[in-house]
Amino acid sequence: MLTAAIGTWKLVTGRADKLFAGASEERLYTELAPGKNRLIYLWGHLTAVHDRMLPLLGLGPRLHPELDAIFLTAPDKTVAELPSTADLTSAWAGVNAALLAGFDSLTPAQWLERHADVSPEDFAREPHRNRLAILLNRTNHTSFHLGQAVLAPK
């Protein structure tokens, strides 16, 4: 069952990788539709959210906490200077590699343990708030933004 969950993560992350890392500089700075977010913002947003999964799943410290102020807290087009495409490409690849290595290190029992954002008391009442739920949720989060990203003009 874990194979299926990690397989879906890989499939969806691979699609996102192809779309974002394969986009031209010009396309990255294009809005999805008039007045909407730009592709570069979605990409940075996904990188920040994936980076936060590392401590959330107990897989280690964050690699790029500096992304939050640009891609999570602030809306698009409010921060003057974004990371270069080369830096974002590298952050995205590094975070996803760290996650995949971490996924492989977890036993099935550990996938059903609580994640770091839920207290032992809350977890006793809500045992579905486990690592696996984070994996499934974040896979769908990527799909959500991927659906938006494909709308950006080619």
Q: Cβ closer to a copy of itself: 85 or 143? A: 143
DSSP 52-118: HHHHHTTS---S-GGGHHHHTSSPTTS-S-PPPHHHHHHHHHHHHHHHHHHHHH--HHHHTSBPTTS
- Asked if residues 44 and 83 have their Cβ atoms less than 8 Å apart, the reply is yes
CB under 8 Å to 139, separation ≥6 — which residues? Answer: 5, 8, 9, 12, 13
C-beta of residue 46 within 8 angstroms of C-beta of residue 99? no
Burial of 125 (0-12, 13-18, 19+ CB in 10 A): exposed
State in angstroms the smallest separation of the CB of 63 from a copy of itself.
Answer: 25
- Of 69 and 151, the one with the shorter C-beta distance to a copy of itself is 151
Give me the least distance between CB of 154 and a copy of itself, in Å please: 13
The distance of closest approach from Cβ of residue 8 to a copy of itself in the complex, given in angstroms and rounded to an integer, is 4
- Residues of this chain that bind a copy of itself (CB under 8 A): 1-5, 7-8, 11-12, 32-34, 36, 108, 111-112, 128, 130, 132-133, 136-137, 139-141, 143-148, 151
CB of 111 to a copy of itself, least distance (A): 7
CB-nearer residue toward a copy of itself: 47 or 83? 47
Nearer to a copy of itself, 64 or 131 (CB): 131
Q: Among residues 22 and 108, whose Cβ is nearest to a copy of itself?
A: 108
- Tell me the closest approach of the beta carbon of residue 7 to a copy of itself, in angstroms: 6
